[in-house]
């Protein structure tokens, strides 16, 4: 069976793409953010996942309001990035993993999740930048199954439902007839708000509580309604739902536990409180 080696969470601010393109990683503004990735990349070099399942939210590239799925699972052989309108460089396409895509799709529907399947989809910065952050040099060494969770059109799925989705995805991966090693990535967050009079809202205390909960109390954030999560972490801070799904996917069996490899937290990059975590599964 496939092995889930661990889970990662990272912020995905578009400006990161520009910073990488211009080589600004050691600039005083960027250094506290980029330096956090060193220990995580070292762990990835040692643990060498073959495949990544990526929980992320589309920011108006692949989906529009005309047809807006709550949960969309990618099942494409290849995923392409495209112009999102802000002048950030487009990144090269990366390979999908259709066998794992269908394993996940079959299991989720069997577990009574109502998902959208996508055999062709554009993936935006939320999907491409984490891959670039974790594997900065050369071609992306992992195949990818993107799972997109709606954060654009309310009502958003309950945190409890997102947790259940993550757990089911973990079960699907753990029961996959494959020898591959799989890592689960969460893209987005942490607290931030771009729109409204409350633009610039950041909640360090809540973010740190959330990061702590990922290690010691994975279901902690499921106590909050979406309205409460918006109030506590900002309109775009609800992206923490991706981290919740990732963490839930690591709990798929009763024997599951995690060890924190590394974490980082830095304010601000653009309007965002940036977070980073790497969790290794332990039997």
Q: Is 252 a catalytic residue?
A: no
Catalytic residue among 59, 107, 192, 252: 192
Report how many residues bind other proteins under the rule CB under 8 A: 39
- Please state the closest distance from residue 226 (CB atom) to other proteins, in A: 8
- Please state the closest distance from residue 154 (CB atom) to other proteins, in A: 4
- Please state the closest distance from residue 141 (CB atom) to other proteins, in A: 29
Comparing CB distances to other proteins, the nearer of 83 and 110 is 83
- Please tell me whether residue 90 binds other proteins under the rule CB under 8 A: no
Among 10, 103, 193, 233, binds other proteins (CB under 8 A): 193
DSSP string, the chain: --EEEEEEEE---THHHHHHHHT-TTSTTTHHHHTTHHHHHHHHHHH--SEEEEEE---SSS--TTS--SEEEE--SEEB----SS-PPPPPPEEB-HHHHHHHHHHHHHTT---EEESS-B--HHHHHHHHHHS-SSS--SEEEEEEE--SSSSPPPHHHHHHHHHHHHHHHHT-SS--EEEEEEE--SS---SSTTTT---HHHHHHHHHHHHH-TTGGGGS-HHHHHHHH-TTGGGHHHHHHHHHHTTSSTT-EEEEEEEEEEEEETTEEEEEEEEEEE-
Q: Is 192 a catalytic residue?
A: yes
Comparing CB distances to other proteins, the nearer of 103 and 236 is 236
Among 105, 131, 230, 248, binds other proteins (CB under 8 A): 230
* 69 within 8 A of 116, measured Cβ to Cβ: yes
Mask for 7-46, x = binds other proteins (CB under 8 A): --------x-------------------------------
Among 128, 235, 249, 251, binds other proteins (CB under 8 A): 235
- Please tell me whether residue 59 binds other proteins under the rule CB under 8 A: yes
Residues labelled as active-site residues: 125, 192
The binding site for other proteins (CB under 8 A) comprises: 15, 59-61, 64-66, 82-87, 152-155, 193-202, 204, 227, 230-231, 235-236, 266-268, 270-271, 273
């Amino acid at each position: 069976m496939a092995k889930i080696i661990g889970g990662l969470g990272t912020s995905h601010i578009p400006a990161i793409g520009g910073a990488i393109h211009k080589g600004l990683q050691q600039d005083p503004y960027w250094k506290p953010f980029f330096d956090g990735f060193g220990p995580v990349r070292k762990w990835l070099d040692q643990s060498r996942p073959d495949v990544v399942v990526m929980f992320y939210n589309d920011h108006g590239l692949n989906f529009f309001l005309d047809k807006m799925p709550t949960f969309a699972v990618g099942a494409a052989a290849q995923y392409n990035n495209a112009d999102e309108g802000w002048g950030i460089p487009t990144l090269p396409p990366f390979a999908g993993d259709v066998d794992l895509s269908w394993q996940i799709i079959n299991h989720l529907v069997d577990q009574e999740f109502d998902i959208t399947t996508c055999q062709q989809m554009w993936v935006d910065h939320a999907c491409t930048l984490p891959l670039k952050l974790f594997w900065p040099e050369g071609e992306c060494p992992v195949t990818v199954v993107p799972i997109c969770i709606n954060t654009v059109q309310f009502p958003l799925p309950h945190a409890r439902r997102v947790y259940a989705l993550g757990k089911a995805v973990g079960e699907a991966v753990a029961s996959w007839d494959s020898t591959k090693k799989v890592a689960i990535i969460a893209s987005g967050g942490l607290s931030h708000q771009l729109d409204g009079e409350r633009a610039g809202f950041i909640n360090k205390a809540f973010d740190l509580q959330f990061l702590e909960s990922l290690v010691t109390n994975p279901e902690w954030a499921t106590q909050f309604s979406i309205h409460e999560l918006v109030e506590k972490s900002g309109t775009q801070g609800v992206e923490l739902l991706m981290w919740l799904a990732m963490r839930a996917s690591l709990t798929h069996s009763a024997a599951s536990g995690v060890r924190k490899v590394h974490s980082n937290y830095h304010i601000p990059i653009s309007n965002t409180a940036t977070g980073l975590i790497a969790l290794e599964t332990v039997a």
